[in-house]
Structure 1
């Protein structure tokens, strides 16, 4: 497990929270920002997984 995977997972959690809060208060921008952050976190997590797989 490397730094990219940890940071990516944290971004996913933060994005999920933002999305939920945005949905709860009816703030579409916050909800969209949360979804975008979740996607960015998933991508960074994938980069970390690929780096882990590439290590001998």
Structure 2
């Protein structure tokens, strides 16, 4: 499921990065080796308050 939405996610993440709303993001892996399995992701966002960020990520 995660890989199915990845192309759209990357397009949207690039737009958020360009706007300055996305500060940094990336994959969470089981370990730091080349064989680490992706177990999630993280995005650090910038906004006026938590509600603004919540609205951005719920789009």
TM range (shorter): 0.3 to 0.5
Greater relative CO, 1 or 2 (CA 8 Å, sep 6+): 1
TM-score normalised by length of structure 1 = 0.33
> Taking structure 2 as the reference length, what is the TM-score of the superposition?
0.31
